[in-house]
Chain A
Amino acid sequence: GENVEQHPSTLSVQEGDSAVIKCTYSDSASNYFPWYKQELGKGPQLIIDIRSNVGEKKDQRIAVTLNKTAKHFSLHITETQPEDSAVYFCAAPMKSSGDKLTFGTGTRLAVRP
């Protein structure tokens, strides 16, 4: 069926280093790709999104890249800080399910001080 695969499931980096999380999707008609950050005890929060007509989008230390041919998109966090520690989810709408947003299984990022 239509799904979104996310890797890695856990990621540990040293403060100041970069972190990259990758997602692949199966529905070639998907055209909107959001990323969510979930801190402990809170609901997911939208941090950045990208639409299919662009290849990259940046917002300060975070960026998202999209490769529609390969059907994958990635979240890049530069100069990581301890407050970046959280669970990150990617998502993509599945056209075959009426654009229902399907989520990846999450990446737990730990930034070591």
Chain B
Amino acid sequence: EAQVTQNPRYLITVTGKKLTVTCSQNMNHEYMSWYRQDPGLGLRQIYYSMNVEVTDKGDVPEGYKVSRKEKRNFPLILESPSPNQTSLYFCASSLTREGSGQYFGPGTRLTVT
């Protein structure tokens, strides 16, 4: 089954404790991205990757890091989480950046206290 998986689905952590949210897709997609979803603000892109070893900032990259060492994986790293990073996070992938629909993962709800 074609899908995007994320782990963990739920995470409660404390300020400053480094964490990683994993993302994996099995569709051989080149393009992957991370979004955060906050009430009233819709989906905002954090980082994206056009292909292996090619990553770039989205609209709200501050406080986040990513890596793309393999085509299928695109982890999101929060080196020192803060309460304003409490949000619902989605990983997505698509064949290309332009003109193709994105497949979204199920989401990771992160709470930073």
Q: Which A residues are within 8 Å of any B CB, using their own CB?
A: 31-32, 34, 36, 41-46, 49, 51, 89, 93, 98-101, 103-106
Q: 1/0 contact trace for B46-62 toward A, CB 8 Å?
A: 00100000000010000
Would you call the interface of chain A mostly helix, strand, loop, or mixed?
Answer: strand
Q: List 22 A-B contacts (CB under 8 A).
A: A32-B98, A32-B99, A32-B100, A43-B105, A43-B107, A44-B43, A45-B104, A46-B103, A49-B101, A89-B42, A93-B98, A98-B97, A99-B97, A99-B98, A99-B99, A100-B45, A100-B97, A101-B102, A103-B42, A103-B43, A105-B40, A105-B42
Q: CB-defined interface of B76-113 with A at 8 Å, one 1/0 digit per residue?
A: 00000000000000101000011111111111000000
Please name all residues of chain A whose beta carbon is closer than 8 Å to the beta carbon of B58 when the two chains form the complex: 100
From known contacts A99-B98, A100-B48, infer whether A106 and B104 are also in contact, taking CB-CB under 8 Å. no
Contacts A46-B102, A49-B101, A101-B102 given: A89-B107 contact, CB under 8 Å?
no
Residues of A contacting B92 with CB < 8 Å?
A: 43
B107 to chain A: closest residue by CB? A43
Give the complex CA separation of A40 and B40 in angstroms.
16
Q: What does the 1/0 interface line of B14-43 toward A look like (CB < 8 Å)?
A: 000000000000000000000000001111
Q: Which residue of A lies closest to B105 (CB)?
A: A43
How many residues of chain B get a CB closer than 8 Å to chain A's CBs?
Answer: 21
Q: Which residues of B contact A106 (CB under 8 A)?
A: 42
Total A-B contacts with CB atoms under 8 angstroms apart: 49
Of all chain B residues, the one with the shortest Cβ separation from A51 is B99
Shortest distance between the CB of B55 and any CB in chain A (Å):
13
Contacts of B102 in A (CB 8 A): 34, 46, 101
Measured between C-beta atoms, what is the minimum distance from B91 to chain A in Å?
Answer: 8
* Shortest distance between the CB of B87 and any CB in chain A (Å): 14
Q: A100-B58, A105-B42, A106-B42 are in contact. Are A42 and B97 (CB under 8 A)?
A: no
